[in-house]
Chain A
Amino acid sequence: MNDMVKMVVVLTILTGFSGGLLASIRNGTAEQIEIQQLKFVKGPAIKSILEGAENDPIADRFKIKDGEKEYSVFVGKFDGKANAVAIESFATGFGGPVGVMVGINMDDDSVLAVGVTTHAETPGLGSRAKDDPGFVAQFKGGAIKDPFKVSKDGGQINALSGATITSQAVCQATTDVGNVYLKLKPKIQEKISTMK
């Protein structure tokens, strides 16, 4: 009996200690990790989506809340006007969440460009959503208020062959960004106007 108590106590203390240590390290590194991810993963995607922007969209970013969820908004300036934003959203693909960065032209609420940031899709099949520029190019110019769907679901996007689920996830995430954007547009505009 004594032995039993000792086992429980030792394991409990050990796990408690380990949990505490990990939580504090996670807190300590969270900001740095976000910066690194912006630099190495999202940075290139944002740069290609807001291509030709006169400012640095990664530096000109702010966070905005929709209920419980928080979104990072990256602002791009064209012709001296801050009229483009990039917002990231996630949808469940075949191998896990697929992160999609959507650039939006705020003048006519159309899609500037779409890029996949993070994913765990099958290499050679779903991974083409990120690697094949032809697939994401289909989103260009689409009106943000309409939902994006693959042609199988009655939409306008041709799915990647062999990767329907991934294609659906990209459509879903893009649609989500559109909805969030339309809902928060007044707030986003307000934030942008206070930015400079």
Chain B
Amino acid sequence: MAKSITQEFVKGLWAEIPPFRLVLGLCPVLAVTKTVENGIGMGAATTFVLVCSNILVSLLRNIIPDKVRIACYIIIIATFVTVVELVMQAYAYPLFLKLGIFIPLIVVNCIVLGRAEAFAAKNSVVYSLADGLGIGIGFTLALGALGAVREVLGNGTFYGISLFGPSFEPFKFMVEAPGAFVGLGLMLCVMNMLESK
């Protein structure tokens, strides 16, 4: 374990930022990033699940038998997802209505299971916490950025605030499904260009 805790945290923000570098968990990335608010809400929910499940998986990594480890991870993840769902219903109902089915679908998000299997099952609690937090924040930033691009171009607003005044003709294509693919593709392209320099 040569890497420091900070390195484990920081790698999630750029070197292994989930949707762009790991190219994992694309379903919510494409589906909920119509607005910045949705993107950040989804990111925050995923971060919570990621951090909690990473901690618990790491704590139990010596107890969980190898043969049923996936089942155990899914139970842990599903529990925290349901916690998020209930809490979100109780305290952020409008956001819950917008994210809808994608909150329960965090259970099958490959990022969460991927980090549990690839990282938390092999590392100590503090490292797993840093990893979960880093990846989670990276995911949130990525969703927020994609949401910002789509909302600004497709709706002329940022976080619900109108940017260009009434004369702006919104580029509706960007808030529809194809716009998500194009937006994600362009962002990947920019990331690769920056990387290759």
A7 at the interface (CB under 8 A from B): yes
From A3, A14, A37, A40, B72 is in contact (CB under 8 Å) with A14
Q: Is the CB of B90 within 8 A of A29?
A: yes
- CB contact list, B54-94 vs A, under 8 A: 60, 63-65, 67-68, 71-72, 75-76, 78-79, 82-83, 86-87, 89-91, 93-94
A6 at the interface (CB under 8 A from B): yes
CA distance A26 to B82 in the complex (A): 9
From A6, A7, A18, B76 is in contact (CB under 8 Å) with A18
From B60, B68, B75, B94, A18 is in contact (CB under 8 Å) with B75
Q: Which residues of B contact A195 (CB under 8 A)?
A: none
Q: Is the CB of B76 within 8 A of A40?
A: no
Q: Which residues of B contact A14 (CB under 8 A)?
A: 60, 72, 75-76
Known: A36-B93, A40-B97. A25 touches B83 (CB 8 A): yes
Q: Which residues of B contact A156 (CB under 8 A)?
A: none
Q: Is the CB of B86 within 8 A of A29?
A: yes
Q: Which residues of A contact B83 (CB under 8 A)?
A: 21-22, 25
Q: Is the CB of A11 within 8 A of B93?
A: no
A10 at the interface (CB under 8 A from B): yes
CA distance A170 to B75 in the complex (A): 38
CA distance A37 to B63 in the complex (A): 41
Q: Is the CB of B65 within 8 A of A36?
A: no
A116 to chain B, nearest CB (A): 15
Q: Which residues of B contact A161 (CB under 8 A)?
A: none
Which residue of the partner chain B has the closest CB to A22?
B82
Q: Is the CB of B90 within 8 A of A32?
A: yes
A64 at the interface (CB under 8 A from B): no
Hey, what's the 0/1 contact readout for A9-29 against B, CB within 8 Å counting as 1? Answer: 011001100100110011001
A39 at the interface (CB under 8 A from B): yes
Q: Is the CB of A29 within 8 A of B89?
A: yes
A184 at the interface (CB under 8 A from B): no
Q: Which residues of B contact A10 (CB under 8 A)?
A: 63-65, 68, 72
Q: Which residues of B contact A25 (CB under 8 A)?
A: 82-83, 86-87
Which of A3, A6, A10 is the most central at the interface, judged by chain B CB atoms within 10 Å of its CB? Answer: A10
A125 at the interface (CB under 8 A from B): no
CA distance A130 to B26 in the complex (A): 32
Q: Which residues of B contact A182 (CB under 8 A)?
A: none
Q: Which residues of A contact B75 (CB under 8 A)?
A: 11, 14-15, 18
A33 at the interface (CB under 8 A from B): yes
B63 to chain A, nearest CB (A): 6
From B67, B78, B79, A7 is in contact (CB under 8 Å) with B67
CA distance A11 to B72 in the complex (A): 7
A11-B68, A36-B91 given; 17 more Cβ-contact pairs under 8 Å: A7-B67, A10-B65, A10-B72, A14-B72, A14-B76, A15-B75, A18-B75, A18-B79, A21-B79, A22-B82, A22-B83, A29-B87, A32-B90, A33-B89, A33-B90, A36-B90, A40-B97
Chain B positions near chain A (C-beta within 8 angstroms) = 60, 63-65, 67-68, 71-72, 75-76, 78-79, 82-83, 86-87, 89-91, 93-94, 97
Chain A positions near chain B (C-beta within 8 angstroms) = 3, 6-7, 10-11, 14-15, 18, 21-22, 25-26, 29, 32-33, 36-37, 39-40
